[in-house]
Amino acid sequence: MSNCLLSLCLGGVALIHADAFAQSATAPAPAPVTTAAPPAAQVLPAVTVTGERPTNRIDRQVYDVRSDISSSNGSAADALNNVPSVAVDPDGSVTLRGSSNVQILVDGKPSAMLQGDNRGASLQAMAADDIESIEVINNPGAQFGNEAGGGPILNLVMRRNRRPGGSGVANANLGAAGRYNSAVSGTYNEGAWGYQGGINVRHDGRNSVADVSRDRLDPVSGAMLHSSQQSNGNGLNDSVGINSTVSYNIGANDSVSATVALLGRSNNQQGRDRYIFDGLDGAVQSDYQRRTARAGDSRNNSWGARYDHKGALPGETLKLDLRVSSSSNVNDSDYANTYAVFAPGAFDSQARQHSDMRNRIVDFTGDYERPLAGGAAKLGYKLASNRSDSDTLYTDLFGGLAVPNARRSSNYELEENTAALYGSWQTRINERWGALAGLRAEYTDLDIHQLQGGGAAKNSYLNLMPSLFATYKLSELSNLRFSYAHRLRRPSAVDLNPAVIYRDELNVFAGNPHLKPTQTDSFELGYETRMGGLETNLRGYFRRDTDAIVDYRYFLDDNVLLTTRANGAGSRAGGLEFTVSGKLTPLLTVNGSGNLAHSEQTTQDSNGIFSSRSANALSGRARLNYQFDAANQLQLALQMQGKTLSGQGYRSPNSTLNLSLRHVLTPQLTLIANVTDLFKTNKVETVVDSAALRETSTRRFDGRLLYVGLSYRFGGPPARAAEDGARLRGRGPGGQGGPGGPDMGGPGGPGPDGA
């Protein structure tokens, strides 16, 4: 067990991990870290030391994102976009293998800032340089709960430094159109005490333009009526994040730690939409422009405390962790409608909207692990409370008089309480076989109140969730992996909120308080090996959802389309995923991945007819790193996202290409430049094709954005930057998580706690 426990959490929540996680009973106990610095000749940069960790574990894949050149001026959303089969659009929406049912954790725990509509903006405000690695857990085991979806998990493992002494890094970057970001972080360890913290600021965002073409069925005439919408939005966001962690070792076997993190974000957005409606004869019946001015503030904070105890038995540990996180989002919008062609009863008008959304999560977990029957047993519990409040007041302005609009206003509360127990047992059966089996029992109680209108709903359920993982060592260079997990997707607060939320004049959203949780069975079979200088992974997977939560659309009136959630008959998805990484030449490193997927959904059209839809899609990533010499490096990153089903429609394929350059000026100072979306191809296009609605929506964002910055490292080993380049030229897969490391042939270490 390491003598010093440190972790870094930016913008939400932090989890302090012991330096070595408990291994199976057959694994040797980790050696303690000495308090004296090693001889100078043996000092290695932190990135090299952590690079020795296994990149594949029995229940997850681990991807080192620090080798990405753009990490010093990118966001957490950018870092996620470099992970195989993960896609993050400019709004911050995240999908994994084409599924949007993704949990995002920070050091194994949920955070209020990464739930609901708050998640996208928070990911874009978090600094990528604070992330050490990203764990992809497609089939979560028994130790993980079902917060914010219950589907696959993306776990952000934050940087931490436990070496004696002090060190730090400072980054400053300038971008196009006044964009900038800067961050300073540092750590200091002496004796039993350890400190770590940082601060970052960011002025960034993406302007956008959109075009929508809609043809809807007229129920009277049976003809299709056409309308269109052209939109543009501009304005950048400002964010400031501060985090701090302190830890203390109480003797050789006990340690305590505390952490606090704050993230503030403000925005000032301007938008303009033009709506044109045609009649049956094709003539324009209504043409007006809607101007929008938005201003808002978001406040996110978290604090936590943790106690770790190392028992007398090899690998025996006890961990108690309490974390509290909250988010608050306040927004004010002003609207003005100006008509060029008046529809019957229409008139130039003004309106105002105030919204206040709050979320608070209290999470208390405990984990006990010890050797048992030739393996390692782990028991844990979770007690959690999640409270969401949403208050929206919409007023129409008539001269100097403000009149509340009950149809567009709402006041909603949701309280969710969870209690869970889990157990797992991990063992190495023989020299070739390793296994991890677990079972989780989880009780959930939901209490929903629609304060405006007096509506209320309650629900509670108890679920058992088994999981099984196995590895088989084919040879010294090859492994087979199998995993199965039964999971539960609980509806989120947004899914359950019955209030009608106007996204714009033509599109509104309302949740469904009668949603049932989705039951998911997920299987995966993987093969990993080394071929020459390349590390390769091939994984086949299949996922079956019962009571799948899908989008359901129908018209509230002639032109306003309501999107809500409903339990569909079910859905299925499967595919073949591969990754390959390594050196093609001594100077050229390649990291590639692809996902050939097939998905099926059964949905209900607005006319009540059920229909099945299917899609085949090919998605991929390719990243080339060329090291000209010890001081200069070029990186090209191509990202391609395939077709994705979405309720009554689908999302079209998309691709982007990013370019980055790194030049080492001194052993401490590095110059970095990167261009985002080099060919300006980034867009979000959705298509709805049903009996009553045919719609194509295309939204494009600022492309070809240039950032130039400096990164300065102080303290610690003096040649960090130069050694980073050496690592990229000669060590491992360059961040794409191949099958190397100590986990080849065995069950591997458990990873962050997730009770």
User: Would you state the pLDDT for residue 541?
Assistant: 94
Mean predicted confidence (pLDDT) in 661-667? 93
CA angle centred on 592, ends 591 and 597, rounded to 5°: 155
User: Would you state the pLDDT for residue 610?
Assistant: 67
User: Would you state the pLDDT for residue 517?
Assistant: 84
Q: Give the 3-state secondary structure of residue 728.
A: helix
The HSE-up count of residue 394 (CA atoms within 13 Å, CB side) is 17
The HSE-up count of residue 732 (CA atoms within 13 Å, CB side) is 26
How confident is the model over 357-393, as pLDDT tens digits?
999 999 999 999 999 998 999 999 999 999 989 899 9
User: Would you state the pLDDT for residue 554?
Assistant: 78
Mean predicted confidence (pLDDT) in 535-559? 84
Q: What percent helix, strand, coil does the chain show, rounded to 5?
A: 5, 60, 30
- Whose CA is closest to 252, among 305, 196, 319, 312? 312
The answer to whether 478 touches 529, Cβ cutoff 8 Å, is: yes
More confident residue, 680 or 45: 680
Mean predicted confidence (pLDDT) in 83-112? 78
Residues 72, 75: Cα–Cα separation, whole Å: 9
More confident residue, 676 or 148: 676
User: Would you state the pLDDT for residue 161?
Assistant: 65
Structure tokens given for 291: 């101007």
Q: In this model, does residue 713 exceed pLDDT 70? A: yes
Helix or strand holding residue 722 (H, E): helix 720-730
Q: In this model, does residue 100 exceed pLDDT 50? A: yes
Q: In this model, does residue 119 exceed pLDDT 80? A: no
Residues 54, 63: Cα–Cα separation, whole Å: 10
**What letter does residue 584 receive in the DSSP assignment?**
S
User: Would you state the pLDDT for residue 131?
Assistant: 84
Backbone angles phi, psi at 14, to 5 degrees: -130, 145
- For 193-227, the three-class secondary structure string (H helix, E strand, C coil) is EEEEEEEEEEEECCCEEEEEEEEEECCCCCCEEEE
Q: In this model, does residue 21 exceed pLDDT 70? A: no
User: Would you state the pLDDT for residue 102?
Assistant: 84
How confident is the model over 199-237, as pLDDT tens digits?
989 998 889 999 999 998 888 888 999 999 999 999 889
Mean predicted confidence (pLDDT) in 636-644? 88
The HSE-up count of residue 601 (CA atoms within 13 Å, CB side) is 22
- Whose CA is closest to 700, among 2, 74, 209? 209
Tokens 């389309």 label which residue? 561
How confident is the model over 51-77, as pLDDT tens digits?
233 367 888 888 887 767 766 667 788
The answer to whether 67 touches 734, Cβ cutoff 8 Å, is: yes
User: Would you state the pLDDT for residue 727?
Assistant: 44
Residues 286, 276: Cα–Cα separation, whole Å: 6
More confident residue, 120 or 727: 120
Structure tokens given for 667: 């052993």
How confident is the model over 385-414, as pLDDT tens digits?
999 898 999 999 988 799 998 888 888 888
Residues 289, 284: Cα–Cα separation, whole Å: 14
The answer to whether 359 touches 116, Cβ cutoff 8 Å, is: yes
More confident residue, 218 or 482: 482
Residues 50, 20: Cα–Cα separation, whole Å: 12
More confident residue, 295 or 731: 295
* Structure confidence at residue 16 as a pLDDT band (50, 70, 90): very low
Q: What is the mean pLDDT of the chain?
A: 81
**What letter does residue 667 receive in the DSSP assignment?**
S
Residues 371, 240: Cα–Cα separation, whole Å: 45
- Whose CA is closest to 706, among 679, 681, 664, 678? 678
How confident is the model over 412-452, as pLDDT tens digits?
888 999 999 999 999 999 999 999 999 999 998 988 887 76
Q: In this model, does residue 730 exceed pLDDT 60? A: no
Amino acid at 180: Y
Residues 6+ apart with CB under 8 A from 345: none
How confident is the model over 239-279, as pLDDT tens digits?
998 989 999 999 899 999 999 999 999 988 999 999 999 99
More confident residue, 706 or 724: 706
CA dihedral 720, 722, 724, 728 (to 10 degrees): -170
Residues 6+ apart with CB under 8 A from 318: 307, 308, 309, 311, 366, 367, 368, 369
Where helices occur in 515-614 by DSSP H, the ranges are none
Tokens 């029957």 label which residue? 373
Residues 521, 514: Cα–Cα separation, whole Å: 22
User: Would you state the pLDDT for residue 73?
Assistant: 66
From first CA to last CA, the distance across the chain in angstroms is 20
Residues 138, 144: Cα–Cα separation, whole Å: 12
- Whose CA is closest to 663, among 624, 630, 623? 630
| Highest mean pLDDT, choosing among 96-110, 643-657, 677-691 | 677-691
User: Would you state the pLDDT for residue 15?
Assistant: 30
The answer to whether 330 touches 294, Cβ cutoff 8 Å, is: no
User: Would you state the pLDDT for residue 147?
Assistant: 62
- Whose CA is closest to 151, among 545, 501, 483? 545
**Taking the CA atoms of the chain, what radius of gyration do you get in angstroms?**
26
How confident is the model over 501-511, as pLDDT tens digits?
877 777 888 88
More confident residue, 183 or 533: 183
Residues 162, 249: Cα–Cα separation, whole Å: 12
* Structure confidence at residue 746 as a pLDDT band (50, 70, 90): very low
**Of 106-110, 111-115, 653-657, the least confident:** 111-115
CA angle centred on 727, ends 721 and 729, rounded to 5°: 110
